[in-house]
A and B are shown apart, each in its own frame.
Chain A
């Protein structure tokens, strides 16, 4: 199993550009989520999904969109990048019907100029 994969590993954008961060998992997990990690702030939840076709907002959803058309994929879209979105982004997945750990991807380091 590949686990949770994320692409790209690094990305530089200019203010106003849009892009999609990709996340995929091959463990048949119902729950998938996106976090951003900023120095001194820990991880903050952006959006999450408890199954295909179901998404919801986390703590910091503004400026981001998600969709979940399949169990495996959970892309995160930045609509119009801003310098405040410079961060490291992590995707995670887990089973949902029983309390289990989350599995994290390796992260995407995004810089918005």
Chain B
């Protein structure tokens, strides 16, 4: 399988704390994206980082990419109860037309 993996599988934190989740992937990539999925809903795009970028910010989100280690991390600062969701990384390979999703991190933010 080409799927990546997120770590941890589940994360529970208090409101106001920071949440960090990691993604590892297997092949050379064109870009890496993070998505959020609320329970029973479709996925929503959060942020995209290109293979030649090392860090990107969007509001309370910070994404890093280390292509030498084939890994990425997503940091959500000052978490809110509304951030409770599953988070997935997705990679588009540099040679193919396919996107590969990781297995997801389930985040619970306790009010």
Contacts and interface: CB of A to CB of B under 8 A. Distances in A.
Interface of A: 4, 31, 33, 35, 40-45, 48, 50, 56, 58-59, 90, 92, 96, 99-107
Tier of interface size on chain B: 20 to 34
27 contacts: A31-B97, A33-B99, A42-B3, A42-B88, A42-B101, A42-B102, A42-B103, A43-B88, A43-B101, A44-B3, A44-B101, A48-B98, A56-B97, A58-B98, A59-B1, A59-B2, A59-B98, A90-B42, A99-B31, A99-B48, A99-B50, A100-B48, A101-B33, A101-B45, A101-B48, A102-B43, A104-B42
Secondary structure of the B contact surface, majority rule: strand
B98 A45 contact: yes
Contacts of B99: 33, 45, 102
A107 B48 contact: no
A41 B92 CA distance: 18
Contacts of B50: 99
A10 to B, nearest CB: 11
Contact of A104 (B2, B43, B100, B103): B43
Contacts, number: 58
Closest 9 CB pairs of A and B: A101-B45, A104-B42, A43-B101, A42-B103, A104-B43, A99-B31, A42-B101, A106-B42, A42-B104
Contacts of A106: 41-42
Nearest to A107: B42
A40 B103 contact: yes
